[in-house]
Structure 1
Amino acid sequence: MARWWRPVLLVVLVAAGSAVLLVTGWPTVEGVRATTSAAGWAAPVLFTLLFTAFTLVPAPATVMGVAAGVLFGLPVGLATTMTAVAAGSLIGFALSRSLGREVVAGIGGARVARLDARLRHGALWTVAGGRLLPVIPFPVLSYACGLTAVRLRDYLAGSVLGVLPSAVAFVTIGAYGGDPGSVPFVLAVAGLVVLAGAAAVASRRRRRAPATPGDRHLSSAGG
């Protein structure tokens, strides 16, 4: 029973972070600007730390992407955003892998082993697809991947590749928000519309797709 303290600690950490977010309120572009403006030259560093923290709890990361463009412009804003995405992905994965993986593997037995075997092949593109079409919230996917046998390099590469298109779009919207008729702004909005449409189609197909025998076993194990 001693091993159970680890997943309990993981749940407590996530719950505590979510509680802090609820108490302090959802981030806004103006709020982020006020927090970082006093940091001077270190503003991008402070912003990156804040953004990283928001990737670990169910916070609206899109606001942070737009704020990055507003505060720093496209090049620096995109750099801070992707650094935060990579750091947040890594921290969430590492917490889940170290605190919950052993218990999940022990409980799931053969079913988890089959899932692990499926995820070892093509995991990079599976993760990239999950990040590109955010049907699953960012932190949920981070913690879920840590509970599986997905290799860290595939997970991290997939996370960065998957988030990059939407990150470019949101940062561009922030950077060019003062000129909504500009080509970069219009292209960014069009790109988000395409991503949203693809996410809706993917979600609909997932709900309609019949479960495979392996999926039914996994569902019965979880229930």
Structure 2
Amino acid sequence: MSRWWRPALLVLLVTAGSAVLLVTGWPTVESVRGATAGAGWLAPVLFTLLFTAFTLVPAPATLMGIAAGVLFGLPMGLATTMAAVAAGALIGFGLSRSLGREVIAGLGSARLRRLDERLRRGGLWTVAGGRLLPVIPYPVLSYACGLTSIRLRDYLAGSVLGVLPSAVAFVTIGAYGGDPSSVPFLLAVAGLVVLAAGALIAKRRRPRDTAPAAPAPPTPVG
């Protein structure tokens, strides 16, 4: 039982973070603005730290992307968003890799080994696809990847590349929300529609990993 204390700690940390979010309530753009307004030049740093925390629990990360655009405009808003995305991806991966990978690797499940090998071979592009079409919630994919043998550089690059299109769209919506008829705003909304449609199609067509069929019984001789 001693080997299970690490994954149990990981579950406890995620559960505790989710509980704090439920107790304090979902943030609004105005509450985020209020939390960073008095920070002066440190506001982007404070916002990035807050955003990073939201990437580790089932939190409204899309709202934070929009808030980044509202508060800082497109260039700085996108920079803070991507910094938070990269930091959150690293922290989630690191926690899962250090606290749960050893136990998962020791289970000896053939199905888990196949899934692990598939993700390791796909590497960067598998993670990028998972981030681009968010069929799996952001923190769930971060923790799941940490349990596999995927290389850190492939995971991080895939996370950044996969999130970038939706991050650009949400930050643009926040930055140009005051003029919803503007070309950047309309392009951002159109991009999100395309991503949502792609995610829906991917979810419906997602192949299921099935166990290998049992060998057929030997044919009687004689």
TM-score by length of 2: 0.93
What residue in structure 2 maps to residue 53 of structure 1?
53
1:213 aligns with 2:215: no
Q: Which has the larger radius of gyration?
A: 2
Contact 2:120–2:148 (CA<8 Å) still a contact in 1?
A: no
Give the match's secondary structure for 1:94. helix
The residue identity in structure 2 corresponding to 1:188 is: A
1:10 aligns with 2:4: no
Looking at structure 2, the residues matched to 3 and 14 of structure 1 have their Cα atoms a distance apart, in angstroms, of 19
| Unaligned runs of at least 5 residues, structure 2 | 215-222
Matches within 5 A, 1:76-95: 76-95=76-95
How far is 1:204 from its partner?
Answer: 1.1
Give the match's secondary structure for 1:108. coil
How far is 1:187 from its partner?
Answer: 0.3
Looking at structure 2, the residues matched to 135 and 115 of structure 1 have their Cα atoms a distance apart, in angstroms, of 17
What residue in structure 2 maps to residue 198 of structure 1?
198
CA RMSD of superposed structures (Å): 1.5
Residues 34 and 147 (structure 1), Cα distance of their counterparts in 2 relative to 1, 3 Å cut: same
How far is 1:210 from its partner?
Answer: 5.8
Give the match's secondary structure for 1:213. coil
Aligned length: 214
Looking at structure 2, the residues matched to 210 and 83 of structure 1 have their Cα atoms a distance apart, in angstroms, of 33
Residues 5 and 87 (structure 1), Cα distance of their counterparts in 2 relative to 1, 3 Å cut: same
The residue identity in structure 2 corresponding to 1:174 is: G
Give the match's secondary structure for 2:149. coil
1:127 aligns with 2:127: yes
How far is 1:116 from its partner?
Answer: 2.3
Give the match's secondary structure for 2:26. coil
TM-score by length of 1: 0.92
How far is 1:213 from its partner?
Answer: 3.5
What residue in structure 2 maps to residue 106 of structure 1?
106
Looking at structure 1, the residues matched to 199 and 175 of structure 2 have their Cα atoms a distance apart, in angstroms, of 25
Percent of aligned positions that are identical: 81
The residue identity in structure 2 corresponding to 1:213 is: A
How far is 1:111 from its partner?
Answer: 3.5
